[in-house]
Structure 1
Amino acid sequence: MQRTGPAARALREPGLATALCLHLALLGALLAARAFSGFVPMTEMNVEVELVGPEALTPPAPPSVPAQAPPAPPTAEIASPPQMAPATPLQDKPATPPAPPPTEPPAMITARTLHSESVLANPRSRGTREALKTLEASERVEQLCNLEAMSQIHAWKADFEPDRVVAFAMAGTKLTKAVLEAEGAAFRSRKQWYGLRFRCEMAANGKVAGFQFRVGEAIPRSEWAAHDLPPEH
């Protein structure tokens, strides 16, 4: 059997002070018993007292902790080079919107009732009837169409009171067979000239058979003289 050393045994047994107290108490008890017994001789007893060295009383040193290496200084962070912002793709210039198509002029008004014949039938128009007989055919057609134009404009809008029409004021007229077209005509109402366009159809008997017209904007006074548009008469 392997023997146990003093230091190892001291860890399993009571300390020195406790062992001494136990031995003294036992010795005291034996002495007291011997005194009462008087004549009874005391048998020798071998009391083994184990002395523990001072090294046994020293508490064991705590287990050594391996020294840790001091923490390494924090590594300086290397700033990454600034990243260039992604280049914004060049946006195509907005295409120029196509020019709006030219506005078509409003449709011409088609007369449902013709007035030139009834106007000439009025007794007050006797002088006009006689004057028309003296004109050439083309000029007579133009004057009949001008008369129809004045009557149709007033019937369309009573605010207009036409007193004169010039079929060729802004542009020449066009006479094809029995149709007279005036693209740049003008009429005067309340001393103001306005643009006019009309298409006049003539019947075989020399009367107006159909009429279409469209009233334009007021003509600036500064342009009247250039187009032979008199302010009066």
Structure 2
Amino acid sequence: MILPISKNAMLLAAVALVCVAILGFINQLTQPKIAEQKLANKLAILNDVLPQNSATESLLADCILVTSEQLLGRPTPQAIYRLRDGDKISAFVVETTAPDGYSGNIDLMVAVTPAGTVLGSRVLNHQETPGLGDKIERRRSAWIDSFQAKQVSPDNQAAWAVRKDGGQFDQFTGATITPRAVVTAVYNAGLLILQQPGLANRPANCGASQ
């Protein structure tokens, strides 16, 4: 005779198995939709920093992983997408991080020509103070557009600073640390492209890491 406690345990186990099966089924149904949405979001951001409608799925595939904690802000690899015009690279789109934001890391995407001209930039993720540091977001202000068409070179680093530090970019009232960190990160992304001309010829290797 099976004791009541054993019956209850078996019933709970059966319910748990059914729940796991249902969750697995739902996950199978929703996973393609999630992947599709993730792809659409990535392409939308790429199109924000590149000339209009340049970003396609082929751009996502032409991606390399690069590690440079000094210039890209993380000890782990960051993705760089390569926009091609025929057999030439017309732009690199660099995923980079400002590690010295007021509230921590600020993740960005920066499009740069091989000659070091910034085409566009967007903030991907941050934890900066609402109403102050969050003005780095395009939906909050147009400040992030101030990098567009600016030239990066090893000789003009002093100009890549906020006005308070003698540079050409505005800071925010009551918040200097955040824009200072972003300016440096955008400059460093351009500098990486200038310092590593071999990036154009590396085999694509982002794969599932994108």
Verify same fold: TM over 0.5: no
- Greater relative contact order: 1 or 2 (C-alpha under 8 angstroms, separation 6 or more)? 2
**TM-score where L is the length of structure 2:** 0.24
Which has the larger Rg? 1
**TM-score where L is the length of structure 1:** 0.22
